[in-house]
Chains A and B, each alone.
Chain A
Amino acid sequence: MEVTRIRALRGPNLWSHHTAMQAVVACDAAECDVAELAGFETRLRQRFPEISAFQPIGQQGQVPVARVLELAALGLQAQAGCPVTFSCTKPTLEVGVFQVVVEYSEEAVGRMAMDLAAQLCASARAATAFDVQAALHQLRDLDEEVRLGPSTGSVVSAALARQIPYSRMTEGSMVRFGWGRKQRRIQAAEIDATSAIAEAIAQDKELSKKLLHAAGVPVPLGRSVRHADDAWQAAQEIGLPVVVKPLDGNQGKGVTVNIQDEAALRAAYAVAAGFRDHVLVERYMPGNDFRLLVVGERLVAAARRDPPSVAGDGVHTVAQLVERVNQDPRRGDGHATSLTKIRFDEIALACLRKQGFDADSVPDKGQRVNLRNNANLSTGGSATDVTDDVHPEVAARAVAAAQMVGLHICGVDMVCETILRPLEEQGGGVVEVNAAPGLRMHLNPSFGKGRAVGEAIISSLFKPGHNGRIPVVAVTGTNGKTTTVRLISHLLAAQGWCVGMTNTDGVYVGGHCIDTGDCSGPKSARNVLHHPDVDAAVLETARGGVLREGLAFDYCDVAVVTNVGTGDHLGLNYITTVDELAVLKRVIVQNVAPKGMAVLNAADPVVAAMAAKCKGDVTFFALDQFNPVMATHRAQGRPVVFVENGQIVAAKGAHKHYLELKDIPVTHGGAIGFQVENVMASVAAVWALGLDWATLRAGLASFRPDQDNAAGRFNVFDYRGATVIADYGHNPDAMVALVNAVKAMPASRRSVVISGAGDRRDEDIRQITEVLGAAFEEVVMYEDQCQRGRSDGEVMALLREGLAGATVTTRQHEIYGEFLAIDTAMDALQAGELCLILVDQVEAALAHIARKVQAG
């Protein structure tokens, strides 16, 4: 078995809406049916018993090893705890070659699972050893390492529940929510609106205390000290007992509480000074530690934090008791579980000594022994949810503290006897405010209910009813998609939006070209969706990207399919028939949002059939208002766009909107049929987005068919009284549409400049000149350096063959070089004649034509 072309489909794709690994798997004859491989299934099941039942593929009922690989890759991930369910294996036209698709939740884990599954299959085949436990362990470790941590994960889950799209910005916890101008960012429990100044204030305990004091939040009095004597001096001013801590420490490092005498104070100073130069002495406030979580202007959760302790049984030593407590399966090593193992280190031993114990002491039955003075979860403390107990006055102080410092998500540490009574009444206070607080103790407390913290954070980022999305229009089809993309972008920009557009020429944001080349793939689309200026995205979605990586978005608002026709680029990537191509083009239709719209060409039966796969509504368009598919649709009161009496009509039920074709220059008064179709598709798309009709009309009127708007898409020039049309048409369907358009334009004589692209099939190249030969009096054929793998003269010969039975063509030239061919045709033009130039090197050729036109 050979596994090749492993790809990650990072968005909705040909197979499903899930992210998935896709591979091409070639099986030898024996591997095409595991029944032929003696003992294979048994050995495989011995190695990995949890693998599911083998479903055969096709009518012969065979189970190829490719299928086993698929099920193993899925099963391994599922057993490792990944939330994955989808997989499939599809045969290709080549015997023994399959496409295997397996869902993943983390790309790296998916890749590893594919790899391990292949090893598993090989070991079952060769009867060698395979340690499935080790494999699962490897997967689990990797998953733990790469997936989002619990805090960030809770926010992402909350976003997904509100249909807010997200993407990770780093391997860590920085996440982007939403798209374009509406995007927001977080990093764990920190949001983009929180200023570095606020975080710096929170780090500066003295300053935060000053600010909290100003806000009427009770705080322990105290001051910073420079040396041990000063510390003792301060302790006397403040009054014992006191707390000593580093000025800007974290996680309770170097903190000593409840200091009662000078010796303890000096010792505590030394500990704190070991962490930071600046040390703080404060009034010690006895009581419990509470952590209140403020999000926005609301208290979201509260927990009481208890230091790690063990209860004596009169038999075991402290060390043994700690070991027993640490055996609790809820106690993990990291931040993932609701409790962490008690750390039995120097600090714990020091704490024991203060209570008169050491590691080998045997406490009496029922005697409680603390292992730390602070209650941090990370050193073994526990958290008990007390959200429902918080007195409103206490909550108000926590919110005031967060606001005063300027933190949008703030962990407020309070010390008081009880959270049920106001702080002022019991001499309690706020000892610290924390930026980017840990959420674990609220999401998954050691005791009590978990709180919807992620939801609260998402609510502070996105108001109710907002999901961070910008309108997204995806456009695909065989011909006309670039013009449609440009026209839709132009119409949306007409209402003042900054439109991000991708197409086969480049990426444009607000009219600026930010990338060139073929940008119809998901990478360019993602760049547009992540651009901070973009109000709406119009994305040409070509087949290549969908095959390679899937879509860049989870849902789109509008999916436009202009046509499929007889197809283009057939024969690549196992897409061999028009129907298979249609399935691929249909992916954007399948991923229209439930409230979105698919805009489909009713005149193209393959496209029209896609309507059944759309979760949202459908607008059909067709030149012919009596097209049966569209007529039926219209009769059902659903939206349609068609042409009637020189007008484009957008109709839905009793509502009708009219657009005069004479006011739409790109259609040349309606003469150019394929442009009328492009306009209808564009109108339907922006209609679905609610663009007002006046803006739409103005936009259509200002969209000029010159190269500024759509380079190489039916650019019309006036040259010495003759009409020159430049177009990048390159397949038979496009040629037919062009010929129809050119025939509709008045001309005393018509000529055409043409070359054939070497990567097309022979019959396609021949067909081009067959079509042209029936419409143009003169044909200028040329060949250029760019032959895409064919030898010199080969393309020219095919073109010549196509002209063999030409009915109209009377003159033909064969020329080497695109510019020379253009010059030959244009120099011969007389006023009133028409010349169609099918450009290849689009930019250079257009520039050349423009120069000639300007020179006159």
Chain B
Amino acid sequence: MPQARTPGPQPVIGENTGGTTNHGGAPYGPSYCMTQQKTIEIVRVTHLRGPNIWTYRPVIEAWVDIGSLEDHPSNTLPGFVERLSAWLPSLVEHECSPGVRGGFLQRLYEGTWAAHILEHVCLELQNLAGMRTGFGKARETSQRGVYKIAFRTRQPDVGERALHLGRGLVLAAIHNTAFDVAAAVAELQEMVDDLCLGPSTAHIVDAATARHIPHIRLTAGNLVQLGYGSAQRRIWTAETDQTSAIAEEIASDKDMTKRMLQACGVPVPHGVLVGSAAEAWDAAQSIGTPVVIKPYDGNHGRGVSLDLESRTDIEAAYALAHAQGSGQVIVEQFIRGNEHRLLVVGHQVAAAARGTTLYVTGDGVSTMNALIDQQINNDPRRGRAESFPLNVVELHDSPEVILELERVGLKPDSVPEAGRQVLIQRNGNVAFDVSAEIHPSVAHAAALAARVVGLDIAGVDMVLENCALPLLAQRGAVIEVNASPGLLAHIKPANGSGQPVGKAIISHLFSSSHSGRIPVVGVTGSQNTGRIARLIAWLVHISGKHVGLACSEGLYLDSRRVDASDSTHRDAGERILINRTVEAAVFENPCATILGEGLAYDKCDVGVVTDIGWSEGLAHFDILDAEQCFKVTRTQIDVVLPSGTAVINAADAQARELADLCDGAVIFYALDPANPILLQHRAQGHKTVFLRDDAVVLASATQDIVLLRLPHLKPAKAAQPEMVMAAVAAAWALGITPELIAAGLRTFESNPQKSPY
């Protein structure tokens, strides 16, 4: 569920997440759009990559100027709503503010504005292209006709393209001109396929998200970091950072794999490597027919021929196999049964799928090609795209099927007599889920096979007559062990519901008590936030953790300043979070960063707010006063984990309001021990930090701890008691002992000397 915010004081004209909506109908001043041409101008596009003023997830924020359309809500544009809903019939699913199916259409009929419509169209285009998202909002700005819209996207290029295509679509609907919706969706779909995580990786990432494990995509490909800093793990589709490179090398050597499996008692078919058709025939005789012939290093079943008995068949199959891969060919005992794919994760079988044998029945009229189309390819589960669980069978593309037909004297254009059953494929897509049926002995053999090779995640291919029966009794065998197995057959099988293989992989990587998180502290406000961040980082560091810090004073790893430039931007934050040695991270987040980029982290353990400090610079973001600034600052408090703590300066006017937004605990700090918010909080038994007789006091329900007296600190620190208290409160929230905190305060160097080499 996308997280919606309760609407702020600014008028919100549309959001599809169920909040109340009103349209501040009164125009503010004259329109800046001088043309009478009804158009939508995209003024600014920002990708907010982290938690932001709109939501917790990455969004595209676009500023659009609808010009004269401000005077033409949807209900006043003749035929517009009809055209739009005809082009995008699935808009009926958008609930929008009414909160019911058809809600958005209702808004269209009642009259809503182009920016709001564009937001919904962008979301829907993304949905149609296969990128499921739900969150979107549109708000007026201080300029008439200019709106900020925000919509969730999983990939910024796709989101941005959707925005432009959406604009074209809305305008075409307004002006009643042509628009090729299918082409637009196809274009986006291609981008989604190219740029978004592949389906297997996305499935694993979703499983991580369900466990509240954050992720960072490390490349444009499928390499994803799960968790932060030293608690992170990496995955690359179905490979993990525990998937041994040596084990992958073993798995890729079928012969070696087979020898190793056999030595450990895993049944495998007997086989021989051959170098010629004549050798293949000799080998087949010594192994005993029927045999399988396949390329030594092929994949996807290319060049594989099964159940061969005669010399002619064997020699033909040799030629086919020889043409694939490196040219080396294996002749192997044929094991009767269906191919099964068992997905092993850790030490267990997480899912299993079975392949099927495809037949067609002749009608005396149709050719083989036609029969295949009528009897096989008509299955709605078959398609050319990766997302279909089953492939389309195309004879011109399947030499092994043609070979199979030739063996029974048929060609693609032959017409088999009525009633004749013709075998097309023995092991078509291994896509029928049989996870619930696997006999323990079969599962044991698969898991052992993975262990012998040394893979933590493996796709073990077995041939079995019946996977529910004991392995040995049916003479089943393991024919291959695959590293980085595809997960689609298990996620989206041709029958039944998918298996939670992503969940299994996540459990394998993260024990149930771990969420891949390291302590994260964020500091927002305008009062000494850089120094506070540094001080917190120092206190964490002396508690024995490797700490990363990104603040306006630079980027630090422990006490080493790696980069001296302002590091309050998101790239610097990401540097900290992807660092495998970082055991705790501290970030300074000015409002401009939250507005311009979003936070670097999804959640934090401690969120510190010194004040809600509006500054002139925020006008750039159309944040024009402290009230609007509150909505920016609250982002820092919104992301505090339920197990975390908000550290808030009780002296700020909106301190209590902020505290109410926090999912976790709250520590108030104040110079004045008599601050009413502080007193109330104390009275309720919560933690507070304040100054009493020049001493910093940590007060909790049970005791007041006098940390140290300010005069004991160097002037640079002593002069900034609020700074000290904010840092102390954060360190306290992280469980650092008061003794260590006091020691850290004394040893912290505000302006460290360059260390001599």
Interface-side segment among B195-203, B332-340, B572-580, B631-639: B572-580
Contacts A174-B246, A215-B579, A406-B234: A197 and B757 contacting too (C-beta < 8 A)?
A: no
Q: Which of B265, B452, B484, B579 has the most CB of A within 10 A?
A: B265
Interface mask (A392-409 → B, CB under 8 Å = 1, otherwise 0): 010000001001101000
Q: Which residues of B, 442-471, contact A by the 8 Å Cβ criterion?
A: 444, 448, 451-452, 454
Q: Shortest Cβ distance from B196 into chain A, in angstroms?
A: 18
Q: Which of A174, A196, A531 has the most CB of B within 10 A?
A: A196
Identity of the chain B residue whose Cβ is nearest the Cβ of A396 in the assembled complex: B560
A216 at the interface (CB under 8 A from B): yes
B247 at the interface (CB under 8 A from A): yes
B236 at the interface (CB under 8 A from A): yes
B241 at the interface (CB under 8 A from A): yes
Q: Which residues of A, 389-442, contact B by the 8 Å Cβ criterion?
A: 391, 393, 400, 403-404, 406, 421-422, 425, 435
Contacts A190-B245, A422-B757: A197 and B256 contacting too (C-beta < 8 A)?
A: no
Interface mask (B252-267 → A, CB under 8 Å = 1, otherwise 0): 0100100010011100
Q: Which residues does chain B contribute within 8 Å of A531, judged by CB atoms?
A: 263-264, 452
User: Could you tell me if B239 and A512 are in contact, using CB atoms closer than 8 angstroms?
Assistant: no
Can you pick out 23 interface pairs between chain A and chain B where the beta carbons lie within 8 Å of each other?
A169-B260, A174-B246, A174-B249, A192-B247, A193-B244, A194-B246, A196-B239, A198-B245, A199-B245, A213-B575, A216-B560, A216-B562, A391-B757, A400-B581, A403-B581, A404-B581, A422-B757, A512-B444, A527-B263, A527-B264, A531-B264, A532-B264, A532-B452
Q: Which residues of A, 198-238, contact B by the 8 Å Cβ criterion?
A: 198-201, 204, 207, 210-211, 213-216
Q: Which residues of A, 165-213, contact B by the 8 Å Cβ criterion?
A: 169-170, 174, 185-187, 190-201, 204, 207, 210-211, 213
User: Could you tell me if B264 and A198 are in contact, using CB atoms closer than 8 angstroms?
Assistant: no
Inter-chain CA distance A170–B259, complex, in Å, is 11
Inter-chain CA distance A193–B245, complex, in Å, is 8
Interface mask (A432-463 → B, CB under 8 Å = 1, otherwise 0): 00010000000000000000000000000000
Q: Which residues does chain A contribute within 8 Å of B574, judged by CB atoms?
A: 214
Residue in contact with B581 in the complex, picked from A174, A215, A422, CB distance below 8 Å: A215
Q: Shortest Cβ distance from B353 into chain A, in angstroms?
A: 24
User: Could you tell me if B239 and A197 are in contact, using CB atoms closer than 8 angstroms?
Assistant: yes
B206 at the interface (CB under 8 A from A): no
Given A192-B246, A196-B483, A533-B448, 16 more A-B residue pairs with CB atoms under 8 Å apart are A186-B246, A194-B244, A196-B248, A199-B245, A204-B219, A404-B581, A406-B580, A421-B757, A422-B757, A512-B265, A512-B444, A526-B263, A527-B263, A530-B263, A531-B264, A532-B451
Inter-chain CA distance A391–B755, complex, in Å, is 14
User: Could you tell me if B264 and A509 are in contact, using CB atoms closer than 8 angstroms?
Assistant: yes
User: Could you tell me if B575 and A196 are in contact, using CB atoms closer than 8 angstroms?
Assistant: no
User: Could you tell me if B241 and A197 are in contact, using CB atoms closer than 8 angstroms?
Assistant: yes
Q: Which residues does chain B contribute within 8 Å of A201, judged by CB atoms?
A: 223
User: Could you tell me if B265 and A515 are in contact, using CB atoms closer than 8 angstroms?
Assistant: yes
Q: Shortest Cβ distance from A136 into chain B, in angstroms?
A: 32
A507 at the interface (CB under 8 A from B): yes
Q: Which residues does chain A contribute within 8 Å of B236, judged by CB atoms?
A: 196-197, 200
Inter-chain CA distance A263–B543, complex, in Å, is 56
User: Could you tell me if B757 and A198 are in contact, using CB atoms closer than 8 angstroms?
Assistant: no
Q: Which residues does chain A contribute within 8 Å of B524, judged by CB atoms?
A: none
B242 at the interface (CB under 8 A from A): yes
Q: Which residues does chain B contribute within 8 Å of A530, judged by CB atoms?
A: 260, 263-264
Identity of the chain B residue whose Cβ is nearest the Cβ of A215 in the assembled complex: B579
Size category of the B interface is 35 or more
Q: Main secondary structure on chain B at its contact with chain A?
A: mixed
Q: Which residues does chain A contribute within 8 Å of B240, judged by CB atoms?
A: 195, 197
Q: Which residues does chain A contribute within 8 Å of B580, judged by CB atoms?
A: 215, 403-404, 406
Identity of the chain A residue whose Cβ is nearest the Cβ of B263 in the assembled complex: A527
A267 at the interface (CB under 8 A from B): no
User: Could you tell me if B265 and A195 are in contact, using CB atoms closer than 8 angstroms?
Assistant: no
Contacts A204-B219, A509-B265: A194 and B245 contacting too (C-beta < 8 A)?
A: yes
Q: Main secondary structure on chain A at its contact with chain B?
A: mixed
Q: Which residues of A, 313-338, contact B by the 8 Å Cβ criterion?
A: none
Inter-chain CA distance A509–B234, complex, in Å, is 34
Q: Which residues does chain B contribute within 8 Å of A129, judged by CB atoms?
A: none
Inter-chain CA distance A194–B245, complex, in Å, is 6
B243 at the interface (CB under 8 A from A): yes
A820 at the interface (CB under 8 A from B): no
B278 at the interface (CB under 8 A from A): no
Residue in contact with B454 in the complex, picked from A192, A215, A403, CB distance below 8 Å: A192
User: Could you tell me if B241 and A406 are in contact, using CB atoms closer than 8 angstroms?
Assistant: yes
Q: Shortest Cβ distance from B653 into chain A, in angstroms?
A: 39
Q: Shortest Cβ distance from B298 into chain A, in angstroms?
A: 20
Q: Which residues does chain B contribute within 8 Å of A421, judged by CB atoms?
A: 757
Identity of the chain A residue whose Cβ is nearest the Cβ of B562 in the assembled complex: A216
Q: Shortest Cβ distance from A446 into chain B, in angstroms?
A: 29
Identify the A interface with B (CB < 8 A).
Answer: 169-170, 174, 185-187, 190-201, 204, 207, 210-211, 213-216, 391, 393, 400, 403-404, 406, 421-422, 425, 435, 507, 509, 512-515, 526-527, 530-533
Q: Shortest Cβ distance from A339 into chain B, in angstroms?
A: 30
Identity of the chain B residue whose Cβ is nearest the Cβ of A206 in the assembled complex: B219
Inter-chain CA distance A147–B247, complex, in Å, is 22
Q: Which residues does chain B contribute within 8 Å of A514, judged by CB atoms?
A: 264-265
Q: Shortest Cβ distance from B22 into chain A, in angstroms?
A: 45
Q: Which residues does chain B contribute within 8 Å of A193, judged by CB atoms?
A: 244
Q: Shortest Cβ distance from B270 into chain A, in angstroms?
A: 14
Identity of the chain A residue whose Cβ is nearest the Cβ of B230 in the assembled complex: A403
Q: Which residues does chain B contribute within 8 Å of A512, judged by CB atoms?
A: 265, 444
Identity of the chain B residue whose Cβ is nearest the Cβ of A508 in the assembled complex: B265
Inter-chain CA distance A533–B445, complex, in Å, is 13
Residue in contact with A425 in the complex, picked from B218, B235, B484, B757, CB distance below 8 Å: B757
User: Could you tell me if B244 and A192 are in contact, using CB atoms closer than 8 angstroms?
Assistant: yes
User: Could you tell me if A185 and B263 are in contact, using CB atoms closer than 8 angstroms?
Assistant: no
Inter-chain CA distance A646–B422, complex, in Å, is 75
Which 4 residue pairs across A and B have the least CB separation, nearest first?
A514-B265, A216-B562, A214-B575, A196-B245
User: Could you tell me if A214 and B579 are in contact, using CB atoms closer than 8 angstroms?
Assistant: yes
User: Could you tell me if A195 and B243 are in contact, using CB atoms closer than 8 angstroms?
Assistant: yes
Q: Which residues does chain A contribute within 8 Å of B250, judged by CB atoms?
A: 169, 174
Q: Shortest Cβ distance from A155 into chain B, in angstroms?
A: 13
User: Could you tell me if B579 and A195 are in contact, using CB atoms closer than 8 angstroms?
Assistant: no
User: Could you tell me if B241 and A198 are in contact, using CB atoms closer than 8 angstroms?
Assistant: yes
Contacts A215-B579, A406-B234: A393 and B757 contacting too (C-beta < 8 A)?
A: yes
Inter-chain CA distance A391–B242, complex, in Å, is 32
B557 at the interface (CB under 8 A from A): yes
Q: Shortest Cβ distance from B541 into chain A, in angstroms?
A: 15
Interface mask (B718-757 → A, CB under 8 Å = 1, otherwise 0): 0000000000000000000000000000000000000001
Inter-chain CA distance A349–B484, complex, in Å, is 45
Q: Shortest Cβ distance from A457 into chain B, in angstroms?
A: 13
User: Could you tell me if B243 and A533 are in contact, using CB atoms closer than 8 angstroms?
Assistant: no
Inter-chain CA distance A187–B250, complex, in Å, is 11
Inter-chain CA distance A400–B557, complex, in Å, is 11
